[in-house]
Amino acid sequence: MCGIELPVGTIAVYNSSTKSVTCPVCLPQESSAVPRSQGSDVPVKVNDVENSLPELVLEQSEVFAGAAGASAQREYERRKDKRESRIREAHPRIGGLIIALSDDPQSTKAWATGAQGEERLGRQLDAVVQAGVHVLHDRRIPTTKANIDHLVVCPSGVFVIDAKKYEGQRPSLRIDGGWTRPRTETLIIGSRNGTKLVDGVHKQVDRVRTTLEASGLNDVPVSGMLCFVEADWPLFGGDFTIDGVSVLWPRKAASHIGRLGAIDAATAARVHHVLASSFPPA
């Protein structure tokens, strides 16, 4: 607003309605967060006030939450278009007929199914956003091809949520072993072993925890969830925990997010911004 060029890294406030950037010096005088020199109308230097503005800046700055299921939907469309192009090139005259009479392979349709599950869960998570609760969708894990479906910051900590759409199949916990041999836990989805999904959540949780620790947020709890959309859940109960990962459905996940905890609104805002900048939209 003042026309002064701000150096890279300067903390400032972005106003989305006017598409303007305000440096700390030009913030309204009524803001108690901006210290001014006594006996003078001249504000102190930008560098002197940056450290006193974290809560104000985090509160006003804008973070793109991401679009749930966007990257999975793009991958589905890419595979679908590639298949159709291949068929049309191989059969110029009847390619359109072949495409109309045949389905996409399961490996392609799985991406569309995944996108639908992420989008549905994303809508339900967005519905619980309030003061102290922040949601990020479809975030890319740097240096990898993987992504995190949903990140939720709330009073009880951070939840790393992996959405799965297994329509009509029931997740269950199978426990083997006991007195005479080691106890083992297995995630069963329908009749298949799905324990590798738990391992995937653990990897995501570790990346998030490491990121927060690097920013001095060691005390923020980080937990993992496997959220099954449109699964065959029983009328009563049905959720469980396997190796520290909660296995549940969307509404149950929302109830976890609504629990009280030790993370105040200012800390939640800081965590939100750290995660948003560390895990960009996929």
Which of 60, 77, 99 marks a domain boundary?
A: 60
Looking at the predicted structure, is the pLDDT value of residue 83 above 80? yes
Residue closest to 128 by CA, chosen among 101, 110, 155: 155
Distance CA 230, CA 168 (A): 7
Is residue 143, in this structure, part of any structural domain at all? yes
Sign of the dihedral defined by the CA atoms of residues 125, 162, 120, 189, in that order? negative
pLDDT at 111: 78
Looking at the predicted structure, is the pLDDT value of residue 197 above 60? yes
Is residue 7, in this structure, part of any structural domain at all? no
136 and 249 inside one domain: yes
51 and 117 inside one domain: no
Residue closest to 278 by CA, chosen among 133, 136, 109, 118: 136
Distance CA 218, CA 50 (A): 23
182 and 256 inside one domain: yes
119 and 220 inside one domain: yes
pLDDT more than 70, % of the chain: 78
In sequence order, what are the beta bridge partners of 115? none
115 compared with 29, residue with greater pLDDT: 115
3 HSE (CA, 13 A, CB side): 0
Is residue 66, in this structure, part of any structural domain at all? no
Reported as a pLDDT band with limits 50, 70 and 90, residue 22 is low
Distance CA 114, CA 200 (A): 15
Please enumerate in sequence order all residues whose Cβ is within 8 A of that of 263, keeping only pairs 6 or more positions apart, or say none.
Answer: 132, 153, 154, 155, 156, 157, 220, 271
Q: What is the pLDDT of residues 89-139, one digit of tens each?
A: 988 888 888 888 888 888 888 878 888 888 889 898 999 888 889 999 999
pLDDT at 3: 60
**Count of structural domains, the chain:** 2
175 and 262 inside one domain: yes
Residue closest to 219 by CA, chosen among 156, 152, 148: 156
pLDDT at 62: 66
Q: Which one-letter amino acid corresponds to residue 19? A: K
pLDDT at 243: 96
189 and 254 inside one domain: yes
Distance CA 168, CA 276 (A): 34
> Measuring CA to CA, how many Å separate 137 from each of 59, 104, 113, 198, 266?
19, 27, 17, 19, 21
Distance CA 207, CA 200 (A): 11
146 and 270 inside one domain: yes
33 compared with 273, residue with greater pLDDT: 273
Instruction: Please tell me the least confidently modeled range out of 47-61, 93-107, 175-189, 197-211.
Output: 47-61
Instruction: Please tell me the least confidently modeled range out of 34-38, 177-181, 198-202, 225-229.
Output: 34-38
Instruction: Please tell me the least confidently modeled range out of 111-115, 170-174, 277-281.
Output: 111-115
Query: How many other CB atoms are found less than 10 A from the CB of residue 11?
Result: 19
Is residue 82, in this structure, part of any structural domain at all? no
Q: What's the mean pLDDT in 181-198?
A: 94
Looking at the predicted structure, is the pLDDT value of residue 53 above 90? no
CB 234 within 8 A of CB 130: no
235 and 117 inside one domain: yes
Is residue 176, in this structure, part of any structural domain at all? yes
129 and 24 inside one domain: no
Is residue 106, in this structure, part of any structural domain at all? no
pTM of the complete model: 0.72
Q: What is the mean pLDDT of the chain?
A: 82
Strand 171-176 relative to strand 157-165: parallel, antiparallel, unpaired? unpaired
pLDDT at 23: 62
Residue closest to 145 by CA, chosen among 203, 230, 216, 62: 203
Is residue 249, in this structure, part of any structural domain at all? yes
213 compared with 17, residue with greater pLDDT: 213
Q: What is the pLDDT of residues 205-238, one digit of tens each?
A: 999 999 999 999 999 999 999 999 989 999 888 9
Distance CA 246, CA 74 (A): 28
CB 155 within 8 A of CB 268: yes
139 and 271 inside one domain: yes
Q: What is the pLDDT of residues 143-166, one digit of tens each?
A: 998 999 999 999 999 999 999 998
Which of 27, 43, 60 marks a domain boundary?
A: 60
Which residue range(s) make up the domain with 35? 13-60
